Structure 1
C-alpha cells in the first residue's frame, strides 16, 4: 500500500517504522525539516516539508494516488482538514488523531466519520483504559481486555520465589491453573521465546498469558501471592489523560489527583465525583504525605514532563508505594527506563495510537488486536472464512511458524480453549500471537 503519514513526531515515526517493516510505501509530511530528516535517516521513506492541511503540499505528495492517509500531528484541525482533503481526492482510508473532546462528540449536524474520516483515534482515552486495566490486576506488567472483555491478556515477571522458576509448564504444582490459561510468549532479556511444553521458566522472564479474567486473576494469586489489591491510587497530573484515568478509577478504588495549576484543579474537582483533588506538586514530600501514600498505594505519573514523571515515581517508591507507572512521551526513553527498572510500568500514547491504526489497517484481513509493550510481537484476530484453508481442521494439523502460537478461540461469543484437538469452524475468531516477521505467513495460512 501507498500510505501518507502527516506528522513526523513520535507517533508518526512509530507508525512509519512498523509500516515499513511490512513493506508498505510510506510518504511523510511535516513542517519541521529536522523531524523529517530524523525520520528519513532510519527509514526508507519519501518526505515532503510543508503543512499537512495545505492542499498544495498534499498534491505534491500525490496524495490522490495513495491508499491511506494517517494524520497524527499535535494539531486536531490539521489532522481533520487533511483527512477531508484526502476524502475529496478519493483516498480510500483516512485516519485522524483527535484529542479535543469537542471534536469527538458527534451530533446530528457534526460527525467526523459521516464526513468521511474512517477512524478517529483518541489516544489518551486508549492510554487511560490501559492503565486502569493494569491497576485492576496488581502484579501485572501489562494487562488489557479483548473481545468485549471476555478475554484478558496479562504479563508478569518471574521472580526468585516464583513457583514457576526452573520448571516447565507440565512440572508446575498447580497444573490446573496452568491449563486454565495459555502461555503465549516470554521475553528473556532481549529475546522473544514462543513457549512449548519443554520450555523452562527462568528468573526475570516476562511471561504473557491469555485467558478469561477469573482464570487470569486466580493464576496471578498463585504466582504473585505477596501482591495484594491496591487500596489507593494517586495520580500526578490533572491533564486530559489524568482526568480520564481518575474517572475510571474512582468507581473502583480510593483515588487522589494531584494538580499544580489552581484553575485546572478546580475543573478536575468539578468533573469528578469521588476523587480527592489536591492542588500540589507531586515532587514535594508534603504532597505525597497529604495524599496518604502508603504501602498499598499505586502511584501513576501522567504529567507532560517525562523526566518529572520518572522523578515522581522514584519519590513515590522511596515513600513506600507498592506500584508505580509513568507516561513517557519520548519513545527513545522507554527501553532505558524499562531496562533500568526505574518504574514498574511505562505507558506510551504512541503505542496506543499504533494499536488502533494497525487494527484498522488489517480490519478486512487479519486484524491487529494489540501490540505489546514488552514484546517484539503482536496479537492478530483472524476470522475463519467459509471453506477457508483451515476451516474444519484441528489446531495440531496447522503448520504454524515457529515464532507464532494460537492463543485462544472465540466461538459464538464464548471462549473455546485452544487445545490441539479443537477443530476450527466457520466464523471462529482465532487470536494468534506472532513476531512481526510472521504476520504475512499467518495471513497466508488462515486467509
Structure 2
C-alpha cells in the first residue's frame, strides 16, 4: 500500500513507523526539513519538505498513484485543504484528517465532510479521543490503562501488581483452574521495562504491570483477584477547562449516577465559557497549582483529580500536590513520552498520552481485513486488534491450537453473535466471529495475514 503522511510530528512519525515497519511504501511530508530528515534517517520512508496542501508538493510525494493520505499537521485548515486537493486533483481513494477545533467536529455540521463538500473519509478528533480515554480511566480507577472492546462487552485492564496481590508466584495455568468461572485472561506482562506475551507456565511477581482482558461483568471481580479495590468515583476535580476538561465534565453530567465534578481553569474567559456550557458542575477561576484553590475545591475529599491542561509539567505537579493533600487518585495528561517513567516515582496513578490515543484511532482505519478497532499499548510496543473473521481467512474453521499464531500473539476473547466467549486451545474460530488479539508490534504483519490481507477493506 502506498501512503502519504502529512505532518512529521509525534503522531505522523509514529504512524510512519508502524506502516513502514509493515513494508508499506510511505512518504512523509512536512514544512520542517529537520523533522523530514529525522523521519527519513530513522525510518524506511521517503521524505519531502514542503507545504502539505500544495499540489506540486503532493505530486512530488507520489500522489498520482497513492492509496491513502493521512493529514496530521498542526493546522486543521491545512489538513482539510490537503484532503480536498488529494481528492480533486489526484483522486486518492482514502483520506484521513486530524482535526482539533470543536467547531469543525460538531455533529451539527457533519455534512461538511460529505464527498461533494469537503471529501474527508475519516475525521480524527484528538480532544474527543482524549476525553474518552479520561472517562475510561475514571471508570476503572485502580488501573493504569484501560480500553473497551467488542461493543463495550470486554475491557482491557492495565494493572500494576504490588506485594499485597494475593496471586503472586502463581502460574497462569493454575489461575485458570482456581477461577474457572472468571471470564478474564492475562495477555501481556511488563517486567523490568520489557513487555511480553506470557505463556501458561509463567508466574506473576510484585512490580509487574499486566494487561488483562475481562468481561465487563467480571471487571470488579478481576480487580479484586489482583488485589485492587473497586471504589466508585463520586467526587472529581478537573484541572483545565479547555476542550478536554469540558468534554469530560459534560460526560460526567450526562451520567445517570450522581457524580460531583468541579473544574479549575486559569483563563477567566475560558472559565466563563465552561461555566456557561455546564449545568451542575462548579467552575473555579484560578491557578490549579495553588494549594489554597485546590483546598477550596475540596481536593482532600475528592475521589480523583484529573489534570488535563495543555502543559505537561503543570499536570504532573498538580497531580503530585493533589495526592499530598489527600486525594487518593491522580490522572495526568502527558504529551511528552520521556516524562512517563516519572509517573511511578511521583505516585501518579494513571496517565493519558494524546499521541497514543490519536495513533490508535488512525491505525483503526488503516489496518487490513475486517479490523474494527486497534489500540496501541505503551510506546507502540504492542497492539490490541479487534477483527471480524472472514470466510477466506486462514484461521476460519480451525481451533486456536491449530492456528499458527506467532509467540507474541494471544487470543483474549471471542464474540459469536451476542455471546462473548473466553477462548481455550480447543475453541473453534468460525466465519463472522469477532476475535480480540494481543499482538507484540513485530508480530502485527503476521496477524494481518491471518486476518486476510485484502484491499477490500478500502
By the TM > 0.5 criterion, same fold? Answer: yes
Q: Please point out which of 293, 296, 314 is paired with 1:290.
A: 296
Question: Which 5+ residue runs of structure 1 have no aligned equivalent?
Answer: none
Deviation for aligned residue 1:141: 0.9
Give the equivalent residue in structure 2 for 1:241: 244
RMSD: 2.2
Paired residues of 2:303 and 2:329 also in contact (CA < 8 A): yes
SS of residue in 1 equivalent to 2:394: coil
CA shift at 1:106, angstroms? 5.3
Matches within 5 A, 1:318-333: 318-333=324-339
C-alpha distance in 2 between matches for 1:173 and 1:84: 53
* Residue matched to 2:65: 65
Q: Deviation of residue 297 (structure 1)? A: 2.3
**How far apart in 1 are the matches of 2:78 and 2:272?**
30
Q: Which residue is 2:378 aligned to?
A: 373
Please list the CA deviations of residues 295-336 of structure 1 after superposition, one character each: whole Å capped at 9, or x if unmatched: 6521111111111111111111211221111112223433x3
| 1:175–1:195 CA distance, 2 compared to 1 (3 A) | same
What is residue 99 of structure 2 aligned with on the other side?
98
CA distance in 1, matches of 2:451, 2:188: 21
Whether the 8 Å contact between 1:187 and 1:205 is mirrored in structure 2 is yes
Q: Does 1:230 align with 2:236?
A: no
1:398 aligned residue: 403
- Distance, in Å, in 1 between the alignment partners of 2:55 and 2:176 is 65
The residue matched to 1:132 in structure 2 has which SS? helix
Alignment of 1:69-84 (within 5 A): 69-84=69-84
Residue 143 (structure 1) shift = 1.2
In structure 2, relative to structure 1, the CA distance for the partners of 1:178 and 1:208 (3 Å cut) is: farther
Q: CA deviation at 1:131?
A: 1.2
Kindly state the Cα deviation for residue 386 of structure 1 after the two structures are TM-superposed: 2.2
CA deviation map 1:376-419 (0-9, x unaligned) = 11112232222542322222222221111111111113212212
Q: How does 1:122-137 map to 2 (within 5 A)?
A: 122-137=125-140
Distance in structure 2 (CA, Å) of the matches to 1:363 and 1:45: 20
> Who is 1:362 aligned against?
367
In the TM superposition, residue 361 of structure 1 has moved relative to its aligned partner by: 0.7
Residue 424 of structure 2 corresponds to residue 419 of structure 1: yes
Higher deviation after alignment, 353-362 or 288-297: 288-297
Q: Paired residue for 2:388? A: 383
For residues 225 and 185 of structure 1, do their structure 2 counterparts lie closer, same or farther at Cα, with a shift above 3 Å needed? closer
SS at match of 1:427: coil
Structure 2 spans left out of the alignment, 5+ residues: 453-458
Whether the 8 Å contact between 1:259 and 1:281 is mirrored in structure 2 is: yes
Output one character per residue of 1:135-187: Cα deviation in whole Å (capped at 9) or x when no partner. 11121111111122111111101101101211123445992277421111111
CA contact (8 A) 1:187 1:375 kept: no
Aligned match of 2:157: 154
Name the structure 1 match of 2:266. 260
CA distance in 1 between counterparts of 2:343 and 2:216 reads 26
Q: In the alignment, is the contact (CA less than 8 A) between 2:356 and 2:379 conserved in 1?
A: no
Segment of structure 1 superposing worse, 211-220 or 198-207:
211-220
d(CA) in 1 for partners of 2:401 and 2:301? 47
